[in-house]
Amino acid sequence: MPLLTWTDELSVGVAVIDSDHRNVVDKLNDLFDGAQTAQSKEKIDKLLNELIALTAAHFVREEQLFAQTEYPDVRTHRAQHAYLCKQALTIQQEFRSGVIESLSPEALDVLKNKLVNHMKGFDKKCGQYLCARDLEA
Residue boundaries of the structural domains of the chain: 13-131
Supply φ then ψ for residue 135, to 5 degrees: -105, 35
Where does the pLDDT of residue 54 fall: very low under 50, low under 70, confident under 90, or very high at 90 and above? very high
pLDDT at 115 over 60: yes
Per-residue model confidence as pLDDT tens digits over 61-70: 999 999 999 9
pTM, to two decimals: 0.91
For 75-93, what is each residue's pLDDT tens digit? 999 999 999 999 999 989 9
- Which contiguous run of DSSP H or E holds residue 95? helix 74-97
The answer to whether 3 touches 27, Cβ cutoff 8 Å, is: no
Give the mean pLDDT of 82-111.
88
CATH superfamily name and code, 13-131: Hemerythrin-like (1.20.120.50)
